[in-house]
Chains A and B, each alone.
Chain A
């Protein structure tokens, strides 16, 4: 099985983001970035399948500005065999929608005969939760979203999914798209020797034009604003004081 893994460089999950004064976006300059946590999980699953001899080749792909290469090197250090960087300038990258990214990944997956595309269930910056489903829709491949357990079953994947009321299990025939949920696995750290080795692994560059992708925006961001702030609360002395306050507000009987 040949697996394409989509990885995105995002503002690190521990950073408290701030909205830009011009309200055009959030401040991303000089802010810690890292690989989207869900993509780390998707990649880990692919690498584990390779270690279990169920997958032959793992290729990491990222669509973004020059710095996306750092994320791809991380992916290589964690076990990807090869990386593909679809490069755009920073300004274009800001306007990319999951729609464009999915088109590009779908094109690569189809042209190079991949058996599966693994992505994280959502990127923690745009919180869209779309790319995997879009890729599957463009390719007319089955999709196993929000995966928390994956088993290879011949020419299919048996996937346990996290759904609202609990779990369900689906079998998707390959080629298929999988999106990783938090509980799928515990991603490994890249070790120093592997980081060194990753520098020698192949990193191929492509442009949206090579892939024939039209980057026309369909979703224009008019304004980005801070959410309404909650008014400051108060500390209460003890349980009785708390219950009195809640009764006063009619929140409890």
Chain B
């Protein structure tokens, strides 16, 4: 009797599992999958549901093949059309909505990158549900945590939206293994894509041989204390020695020392490397929001009272123009 009850319950949960399913929107450049999609897939796994990944683009076949090998991905949906070139949100959102109509997902998510942040709320509006931004914890299928007030308050929220549509903070989840999976590939409808709303004119990406800020194990960041763009070469030399990425505070970006895309903070990139070395950075709330989850934080600053020292594991009160070359030399 008891056994039969258990089996009935099992059947129910099996049916439930079939009806609940998750769609992850892949971010890519038609050649390679972006790393944050792997973090998003790990977040999706925490929902314990079948995972489908949508690859929408002008030539998405190659990326779709890459995605089909990711562990725990059940199905790859491929939407390939010239109209989806550069993946403008006005167009990709139509594809997502069309896929949703066909497959009825309970959860739709993407990494909280500029691509995901641009796309996901638009999709939510089209599905008439309230989205959730940049979750850092999955508690259950409807309950998540996310940082607010520049990371100074963590809100645990419960969504009653008919479809949970959200972005995932990449640094809060490990990357899913990029091999070991064998997902089935299916065509996805591209939807009612209109081309008269917007047009992609071009892009100017900053080229660098150093690792990407999002995936670097070590990051060396410079602030106002560097005094000029030229002086950043001190950080580049040290970074090259350590295989590190170089970041910056808003002050350094605003002063024109480095490009905007290096900015770390509430309104720039959120990073969580093994080692973060803050050089000539005072440690404003907005900067700390972007790096306080780093494993080890080192601060080098000549002002002993700088707030950065309150969160640094190791603080060195010194003139950076002397200390940084010394470190570089010591690593030779």
Contact = CB atoms under 8 A, between A and B. Distances in A.
Contact of A239 (B154, B311, B327): B327
Contact of B260 (A162, A171, A222, A243): A162
Given A26-B153, A218-B160, A249-B296, A133 B121 contact: yes
Interface in B190-235: 196-206, 214, 218
Nearest to A135: B125
B149 A221 contact: no
Contacts of A143: 89-90, 118, 122, 198
Contacts of B305: none
B130 interface: yes
Name A's interface SS: mixed
A17 B156 CA distance: 17
B149 A251 contact: no
Contact of B161 (A19, A164, A170, A218): A218
A233 B124 contact: no
Given A219-B132, A219-B159, A224-B153, A133 B266 contact: no
Given A19-B153, A227-B154, A233-B309, A170 B199 contact: yes
Interface string B152-191: 1111111111000000000000000000000000000000
Nearest to B123: A137
B312 A124 contact: no
B129 interface: yes
Nearest to B299: A233
A172 B132 CA distance: 26
Contact of B292 (A169, A230, A236, A245): A230
B327 A172 contact: no
A154 to B, nearest CB: 13
A114 B124 CA distance: 23
Nearest to B143: A222
Interface size class on chain A is: 35 or more
Interface string B287-300: 00000100111100
Contact of A246 (B159, B200, B275): B275
Contacts of B156: 221-225
Contacts of B150: 124, 127
Interface in B241-271: 242, 250, 253-254, 259-261, 266-267, 269
A129 B133 contact: yes
Contacts of B214: 164
A226 B309 contact: no
Give the interface SS of chain B, mostly helix, strand, loop or mixed: mixed
B131 A99 contact: yes
B323 interface: yes
B98 interface: no
A225 B203 contact: no
B154 A224 contact: yes
B286 interface: yes
Nearest to B206: A166
A146 B275 contact: no
B283 to A, nearest CB: 12
B179 to A, nearest CB: 25
A94 interface: no
Contact of A167 (B86, B115, B203): B203
Contact of B149 (A11, A100, A129, A136): A11
Given A125-B148, A170-B88, A249-B296, A142 B197 contact: yes
Contacts of A172: 197-198
A242 interface: yes
Nearest to B117: A129
A133 B133 contact: no
Contacts of A97: 130
A252 B134 CA distance: 31
Q: Which 10 A-B pairs have the closest CB atoms?
A: A137-B125, A99-B130, A133-B121, A168-B203, A218-B130, A142-B198, A142-B197, A137-B122, A130-B121, A233-B313
Interface of B: 86, 88-90, 93, 113-115, 117-126, 129-134, 143, 147-161, 196-206, 214, 218, 242, 250, 253-254, 259-261, 266-267, 269, 274-275, 285-286, 292, 295-298, 309, 311-318, 323, 326-327, 330-331
16 contacts: A17-B152, A99-B125, A99-B130, A124-B266, A137-B126, A164-B114, A164-B214, A166-B203, A166-B204, A166-B261, A169-B201, A170-B198, A173-B197, A223-B156, A233-B315, A243-B330
Given A137-B126, A230-B292, A253-B331, 19 more contacts: A25-B153, A98-B130, A129-B133, A130-B124, A134-B131, A138-B125, A143-B118, A166-B259, A167-B203, A167-B260, A167-B261, A173-B197, A182-B254, A219-B130, A224-B154, A230-B313, A233-B312, A235-B316, A239-B326
